[in-house]
Amino acid sequence: MRNWLHNIAILGCGKVAHLHARAVKNLPNARLAGVWSRSRQTANSFAEQYGVPAYNDVGELVRKEQIDLAIICTPHPFHLRPAVHAALEGANILVEKPLASTLENADKIIATCRQAGVKLGVVSQRRWYEPVMRVKKAIDAGKIGKPLLGTVNMLGWRDRNYYDSDKWRGNWETEGGGVLVNQAPHQLDILLWFMGEIDEVYGLWRNLNHPYIEVEDTALAIIKFRNGGIGSIIVSNSQKPGIYGKVQIHGENGASVGVQTDGGAMFIAGMKGIVEPPLNDIWTIPGEEELVREWNAEDARHFSRIDPTVYYMERQIEDFLLALEENRDPLVTGEDGRRTVELFTAIYRSNRDNLPIKFPLGHEKGNEMDGRRKP
């Protein structure tokens, strides 16, 4: 049996990159082999902290260090170039959420990875939360029948200090969007994982109480799913100090399952830890209603024994490396990541056109970013 040791590069050395570096360091079959960043100074500082070399060129890093997996941690609109460059040199690619800020860039990354024959995944580590996995298994086992109603409610808070902490935050060009692009992709991915493909979306967005940023702090949507189900989304960064993030699914047999993925003042990479453990906040499957208290207590004990900001990153990277060894897809694929980009793109376009948006979506040309800003 082969003893695998995978060489890993981190491309982009901002706050979230530190979580990935710590996760890689914790994995016995992984080695952090080198880093690159758009800022040479940032790359050098990061590399010194973790005892690895910094490179000016992505291709040189991949070739010289024989990189098996490149983790892309740049701001969202800047995922394309390092992902494409590393893939064309033969590295497999794991991109921080979202896959891209536009469908066009998402499709370029997917096409390049396919052309290069490398695997592509997108970070969505909340899928590995035990309460999330529990919901997915119940749906797949048919315990609620066909999932017919899915809801996302994410009521968080971001203050002036957050937006001032990095120059790229709060701008269309450098962040790519607001709550839809930065905070909501985790919950949007989970909703799509539970409910399946979308047929149509009507959505709108606003900036309710952050006048010092360009991007939206709040968005709503109504969804028609291809399986005949319906859904709703409310995501916001406008509720002090942050209330919760929930995904709930209701089935054709009347049973409901749900997960609170985030509670209280929500996690901010490099700024705040995870305050409350995730939990199954609703569970009405006949015969299982009384199990919820036991599950939630068990999950809370587990959370108290780990660093959840790193542990679930480890689980996703671990899955990706195992996918390489077993020649299978990772749990969260590039196509999964595209579906999240497609969903928030539809909300932007629907707000612009004041019309429901039919799926699938193609690319739009122009400089107004799918309705995110006026041309």
pLDDT digits (tens, 9 = 90+) for 140-152: 999 999 999 999 9
pLDDT at 273: 57
CB contact set of 12 (below 8 Å; sequence gap of 6+): 36, 37, 38, 72, 73, 74, 75, 78, 82, 96
User: Which residue, 169, 189, 192, is CA-closest to 179?
Assistant: 169
- pLDDT of 339 > 60? The answer is yes
- Dihedral sign for Cα 220, 222, 225, 229, please: positive
- pLDDT digits over 266-284, tens only? 555 555 557 789 999 999 9
End-to-end CA distance of the chain: 58
Burial annotation 95-120 (CB, 10 A radius, 16+ → b, else e): bbbbbbbbbbbbbbbbebbeebebbb
Among residues of the chain, what percentage have pLDDT more than 90? 89
**Section 338-354 average pLDDT:** 97
Q: Could you read off the pLDDT of 98-116 as tens digits, one per residue? A: 999 999 999 999 999 999 9
Q: Which domains does the chain carry?
A: 6-125+327-336 (3.40.50.720), 129-305 (3.30.360.10)
